Every structure is written in C-alpha cells, then in structure tokens.
Amino acid sequence: MGRFETIRALLAGHAGGARRFVKTLDDRGLAHLSWSKVSCVESCPYGYYLQYVKRVRLVPEPDYFVKGRLFHAAADRFYRGLQRGRALGAAELESIVGRHKCAVARAHLRNAVTVLLGNAFTEWEVLGIEQIIALDLGPGLPPCVGVIDLVLRKGKVFAVVDHKTGKAFWRQDPMQLAIYREHVLREHGPVRVSAFVDAYRWVNDLRRIRKPAHQRTRVRLSARSWGAAMRRFTKGYAAIQGVERAGEDSPATGACYMCAWRGVCKKAASTSWW
C-alpha cells in the first residue's frame, strides 16, 4: 500500500481531531506536506527544524494559540448545531469560552463568539466542519494533509471557509484555500467553489471599537491557483528535505518577531522588536 493509500485508510478509521491525526502520522513516520509546513519552511528553515523535525513544544503554550483553538472549538460547536437544524446562542458556547483562565482572554473570546453568531453562514447547507483532508500530490511528493474549517453548499455552489483570529487582519495566502478548493473538486467533480476567509480581531469591548472586529474576504481562485500551489509544494518539499539533511545547521532566515518559537531559538535575531 502506498503512502497516500495508507494515510487515507488511517483517516477513514480516525475518530479524533486533526492534531491527534497528525501525531499518528508523525509517530508512524508517514511523511506528508501541508500548507503550514510549506509556509513555515518558506519563512525560516530553522523555524521548520524546531517545529517539525525536533518537534519542540512551547511551554507555556502561547496565549494566541490557546485563544485561537478555543474560538475554533466554539465555531465547531455552533456549526454542528446548525447542521442539526439548531442555531446555538452565546450562552450555549460559554462553556468553551470559560476554559480560558484569563479574564481578558475570555472577554476577547466572548466578543469573537458574538461576532461569529452575527455573521454566520446560516443560508448555506453545512457539509463539513473541521474536516481533515488528504490529497495525492502525484509522483515525487508526499500527500498533503489539511483541515477545512467549513465546507458549505448552496444549490450548485460549494464554499470552503477558513477562520482566522488575531490582533489584526493579516494578508491572506491563497495557497491554503486553493488546497481546500482542490479537495472539493476531487470529491464532487467540476463544480463551482467559492472560497472565504473569515477573520476575527480580538477586541476588549465591541461597543467602543474604531476598526471592524470581523472581516470576510472572498478569495478568487482558478485552475492557475492550484498550479501555483503545486509549484510551492515542489519547491517547499525540496527545502524540507534540505532541512532534514542539515538539521541544526539549517539557516535562520525568517522574521523572528513573528515566530512563536523565537523564545527557544538560539538563532533568533537579537534585533527583534519583541
């Protein structure tokens, strides 16, 4: 059985979340690519070495990791309710918000949940939530593994949605949505697929904001988008193989101020403004 078939078989029998699935693949030595891996090695080879080769865990976990994961859990619960025909309210999502130990972070999460409820894709049929996917990238490349936050359908139109959280709205990378679109095309045939990024900005008080707390961006994709993604996969995999050979000697070339691993990185730039 080939690598892709093995991963697909494991995915078919998997009942947990994406993090557990990826750990299963890593523990079994099943090489795979992802948008996160490619974007990481593009940004900084040594950062890739820390995260994906040495598998350095950050203790304590950065707060924005925790908040982002809890927001995704709340969105997951909301859309699963919607899938069953029931729109949950903020009170029914409070148990997820309450998992965070920090009062300020809980306020950020409550406000983000409020914004989520006011901007939900209620007019679409929910087909998939936190859907783990695997794509065969062809000879010479490991399969791609990813997670689509939402797969939707309205009539003959499908949609893929990615949720983003943070202090600000960041420029979106179309490669991630191109991967999701390619999955839908392979699963459902030559259909029309729209792609959206739903970005949520952490705010203390929704009544006093000067900038929007939510931004929905339609990402325009085409067959060329997948071609560009494949070129990045090919180049990224070559860079990853270089990191695996070089190990500790991998170069640190990224923007250290944006890297969560800067505190444990011996090559982090001392000029970083963090």
Q: What is the DSSP string of 224-266?
A: HHHHHHHHHHHHHHHHHHHHHHHGGG----S-GGG-GGGGG-T
Average pLDDT over residues 235-243: 98
0.75 cut: is pTM over it? yes
Mean of all residue pLDDT scores within the chain: 94
**Which domains, ranges and CATH numbers included, belong to the chain?**
34-263 (3.40.1350.10)
Give the pLDDT band (50/70/90) at residue 257. Answer: confident
Give the pLDDT band (50/70/90) at residue 255. Answer: confident
Q: What is the pLDDT of residues 171-225, one digit of tens each?
A: 889 999 999 999 999 999 999 999 999 999 999 999 999 999 999 999 999 999 9
- Unique residue bearing structure tokens 């900038």: 211
Among 160, 161, 179, 170, CA closest to 35: 179
With both helix axes pointing from N to C terminus, report the angle between 90-97 and 63-83 in degrees, rounded to the nearest 10: 150
Q: Quick one: tokens of 203?
A: 């705010």
| Residue 274, pLDDT score | 38
- Unique residue bearing structure tokens 């250290």: 256
| Residue 224, pLDDT score | 95
